[in-house]
Structure 1
Amino acid sequence: MAEHPDRRCCLGWDFSTQQVKVVAVDTKLDVIYEDSVHFDRDLPEFRTQGGVHIHKDRLTVTSPVLMWVKALDVILEKMKASGFDFSQVLALSGAGQQHGSVYWKVGAGLTLKNLSPESSLHQQLQMCFSISDCPVWMDSSTSAQCRQLEATLGGAQALCRLTGSRAYERFTGNQIAKIYQQNPEAYSQTERISLVSSFAASLFLGSYSPIDYSDGSGMNLLQIQDKVWSQACLGACAPHLEEKLGLPALPCSVLGAISSYYVQRYGFSPECKVVAFTGDNPASLAGMKLEEGDIAVSLGTSDTLFLWLREPTPALEGHIFCNPVDPRHYMALLCFKNGSLMREKIRDESASGSWSDFSKALRSTEMGNGGNLGFYFDVMEITPEMTGRHRFNIENQEVAAFPRDVEIRALIEGQFMAKRIHAESLGYQVMPKTKILATGGASHNTDILQVLADVFGASVYVTDTANSACVGSAYRAFHARRDKRTVSQ
């Protein structure tokens, strides 16, 4: 097929908590195609709620790895049915929900290299995983492993200075340690451990993809200054871990050409490049074109706050990651687990499931909520570590309930006040020219954004698309094509 320059594009993927999404961005950096597969709705056979399985202890949270594989099958078939011209794709990159991990069974690498274009991915990869339900970022069942890691490294502050964060339950090193301790047979049968991002890249590459520095910073395993695995951290988690992880890679590295499976089954060009995938939050930083001095707020399943930094200042509160665009710099991040799912619960309870009524409640209540404030943590929160719903009146007395409209404003104001307090604890100061860049599902609600602007005392801007991780991934694919960095295969 003849090449049409005006239709050439890069694909950006996002393997998020609740869905797999894709965008195509043309050479003018305009989005020309978008699609998604929603796990709960489109793949009900996996019986997820919010894209996950919450176990009886309420601390263990997993997702079926084959669900992610099948979602890719479904979305590619949808693109094919729509007439999407895969031959015009110059390169692709993507993002994955941070901290989730995938455990490839011994022999899986050979299967990846020999995929048949006659069959779907999920049919061929059914027996390729030593752990069928993989731990994800919502899991908080590894407290014992966290304390063990911190003790081995000389305390939380020492670990923080080395890896950018103190030990967190959702971080991958601690999840690996738990699997090794509680399921040693599965660990011994594992030949490669991927993050969700490098797992997704592996599917396109037809071989194991390295973990990039930026997503690797969320594992409690990577030395963020030297960009190498910490031998002390690896040894504290599990044996032979370095060989199971592979060497980390520079962000935006070209990993190689796309697997022949996609060339033969969907018509991709054999010259299409696969660029290292990264975490969803680092990809969003790229997609939102964040500048120094600005603050970005992602309002999704989890809420995140992040900044571009030249010099890391690791602290016990928050995280320092390697920058996903410029490996010389860093990014700071705060994560709040009770994000959109918590807002949806209060919407259902106090606004009859209606976002319109939810917004009316915000408009009908005054800024400051008459001194009433609430903090709502239906699942174990990350920042701070606590659970439960806590409501306080103007006398600072804890109360059992609020009127419905007051409850809604208490939730939203409480969420944004927490974000500002924790951002300032990292040294952030709101300046007269500060811009807040908002993304994620709730960024479509102008009444929620008005509360955000009020709490921070700054102007709020919304990106052109809520799919900033997808768009950022496509931008990174274009960026990599102009860069000479490659990873030898």
Structure 2
Amino acid sequence: MSLFAGIDAGTQSVKVVVYDAAARSVVASTSAPLELISGEDGSREQHPSDWVHAMQACFDRIDPAVRAQVAALAVSGQQHGFVPLDAQGHVLAPAKLWNDTSTTAECAAIMQAVGGAAQTIALAGNPILAGYTASKLPWTRKHRPEVYAKLAKILLPHDYLNFILTGAYFCEYGDASGTGWLDVRTRQWSKELLQATDGERDLSACLPPIAEPDALFDIAPLVAAQLGLATTVKVAVGGGDNMMAAIGTGCVSEGRLAMSLGTSGTLFAYADRPIVDDAGAWAAFCSSTGGWLPLICTMNCTVATEQVAKLFGFSTREGDVYIQATPPGADGLLMLPFLTGERTPDLPLGKGVLAGMDTDNMSPAHFYRAAMEGATYSLKYGYDAFVRAGMRFDRILLTGGGANSAAWRQMVADIFELPVEAPKQSEGAALGAALQALWALGNAQGETTTLRELADRHVTTDPQLAATPDPDRAAAYRASYQHFLQHLQAVTPLYRG
């Protein structure tokens, strides 16, 4: 049994890959869509039962003979979600997600209770930003008092799927650091922030224990039967989707920079020590490998390109044709793609902005390019903070759905002026979960392979997907990016709230 499954529960879909460790190849890959519940107040929610049904659907589409050979699996989950359970483990309400901005006021209230954003960073390494789990608790107390009254357990989406798979409550350091409650320096829950979030109860009693990166759990026999898996399958601890994508792209040692182009856009780099910014310019997260993962997150990446494509009646699969028909800078058309608020830059109440329209650039191709450029410039804005802090990188490892676009890969190379590589397996988070399961099971069986050695062995890039910066395009993008920053500065006062 040398097959390992990775389950990636994202915002738009659940994906499952099955990896053959001996052949070093993915032997099965399936996905099932998810629906998003959106509200005018900025709320973004999903029913946790939908994740379970989607996971079941994914396994149902995999050959039973393949499923029978799975030795271990792990879950990658969208970060920051709030899954409230009662004492019997029943879900009490839809899960509020990472891109939910309805709790912005609660973020400020929690930080004010401990003395402000600077003191919050001093206590835990991160400010409480819109979308983080912490702010969802006081929102629930105010808007869903019946849920708050019955609340016994707080799980993240990744934790909830692990609970379904094993019947056990546990979380892990990487995903837990995205709650806003974990002191990333000590890897302990911050008593001060828990108290500031809810002074009416001991919140620590609602949080699951934190499992070590190499922990293994037994799969529940009934769930194994439902998924067509052996009852001997082990469930590794898994982690947040960005933490699993770090493993799946080989970003498990210093000097490597990974970028994920998904619903959200992320930049993350491995560190062997906490990398905390006093101004909170990036997320000072733990990794799921025993280290740390400084991370930049934008809330609008493929969201922007998909919305523009939908507006003009074409598919993003056709998007590269539109990019090739337009020049860098979109002939002056500029988009600030803050369609769902924004985290980087920190504008949770932000809205999308189109600027520079004239009679020559009001075409579907120009709008699509402006959306892709705007999403990439937002990531560049965060990357600049990394560089100012002294971090240096020699290439970008690209993953996520946007990485399937040759035009986007080239755009990233030109805007960041760094070579771009893409792993052969584009589903970096799902592959990372499978590799973590492989590593954890190997450890339990007495192997001494480090996670870095394992990633170097199993994560390979595709030379045909590589991109190198073009000097002329890079110069054009530098000028366009400056216009982005100027417009950002101009609209920031409008959306500060």
The change in CA–CA distance for 1:181 and 1:399 in structure 2 (over 3 A counts) is farther
Cα distance change, pair 484–164 in 1 and its aligned pair in 2 (3 A): farther
Aligned to 1:383: 344
Q: Deviations over 1:170-227 (max 9, x none)?
A: 111111121123323312312211100111111111232x110000000110011111
Match of residue 295, structure 2, among 330, 333, 339 = 333
Q: What letter is aligned with 2:95?
A: C
CA distance in 2 between partners of 1:237 and 1:431 (Å): 33
Whether the 8 Å contact between 1:90 and 1:272 is mirrored in structure 2 is: yes
Residue 347 (structure 1) shift: 1.8
Matched, 1:171 2:132: yes
1:263-302 equivalences under 5 Å are: 263-266=224-227, 268-290=229-251, 291-302=253-264
Q: 1:433 to 1:150 in 2, by over 3 A?
A: closer
Q: Give a deviation string over 1:250-297, Cα, whole Å, max 9, x none.
A: 22322x211111344455333321111211111000100014223211
Match of 1:83 among 64, 70, 76: 64
Determine the structure 2 residue equivalent to 1:262. 223
Match of 2:283 in 1: 319
User: Which position in structure 1 is the counterpart of 2:26?
Assistant: 31
Q: Are the equivalent residues in 2 in contact too, given 1:162–1:224 (CA < 8 A)?
A: no
One-letter amino acid of the counterpart of residue 426, structure 1: F
TM-score by length of 2: 0.82
Which residue does the alignment assign to 1:61?
44
Conserved? CA contact 1:392–1:399, under 8 Å: no
**Residue type matched to 2:129 in 1?**
Y
RMSD: 2.6
Question: Which residue number corresponds to residue 93 of structure 1?
Answer: 74
Task: Check conservation: 2:74, 2:436, Cα contact below 8 A.
Answer: yes
Distance 2:147 2:107 in 1: 21
Q: Aligned pair in 2 of structure 1 residues 140, 88: CA closer, same or farther (>3 Å)?
A: same
State the alpha-carbon separation in 2 of the partners of residues 392 and 275 from structure 1: 48
Give the match's secondary structure for 1:33: strand
In the other structure, the counterpart of 1:71 is 54
Displacement of 1:342 in angstroms is: 1.2
Larger mean CA deviation between 445-454 and 416-425 belongs to: 416-425
Task: Determine whether 1:103 maps to 2:84.
Answer: yes
For normalisation by structure 1, the TM-score amounts to: 0.83
Which amino acid in 2 is paired with 1:268?
L
Distance 1:341 1:433, change over 3 A: closer
Shift in alpha-carbon separation, 1:269–1:451, aligned structure 2, 3 A: same
Structure 1 residue 62, shift from structure 2 partner = 0.7
3-state SS of paired residue (2:270): strand
| Percent identical | 26
AA matched with 2:164: L
Retained in 2: the 8 A contact 1:295–1:305? yes
Offset at residue 357 of structure 1 (A): 5.3
Distance 1:342 1:220 in 2: 27
Match of 1:307 among 269, 289, 297: 269
Please state whether the residue corresponding to 2:16 is helix, strand or coil: strand
Amino acid at match of 1:56: E
d(CA) in 2 for partners of 1:73, 1:8? 22
Equivalenced residue count is 438
- How far apart are 1:144 and its partner, in Å? 2.0
CA deviation profile, 1:408-428 (whole Å, cap 9, x unmatched): 322222222221222111336
Could you tell me how far 1:332 is from its partner in structure 2?
A: 1.2
Q: Distance in 2 between matches of 1:356 and 1:77?
A: 27
1:100 counterpart SS class: coil
- Quickly say closer, same or farther: Cα 1:75–1:411, change in 2 above 3 A: closer
Structure 2 unaligned runs (5+)?
Answer: 446-497
Q: Summarize the alignment of residues 309-458 of structure 1 with structure 2, pairs less than 5 Å apart.
A: 309-311=271-273, 312-314=275-277, 315-325=279-289, 327=290, 329-350=291-312, 352-355=313-316, 358-384=319-345, 385=347, 386-393=349-356, 402-427=362-387, 434-458=394-418
Larger deviation, residues 69-78 vs 430-439: 430-439
Counterpart in the other structure of 2:11? 17
Contact 1:252 1:324 in 2 (8 A): no
Shift of 1:372: 4.2
**Structure 1 gap ranges (5+):** 1-6, 40-50, 109-127
* Separation in structure 1 between the aligned mates of residue 50 and residue 4 of structure 2, nearest angstrom: 25
CA contact (8 A) 2:135 2:197 kept: yes
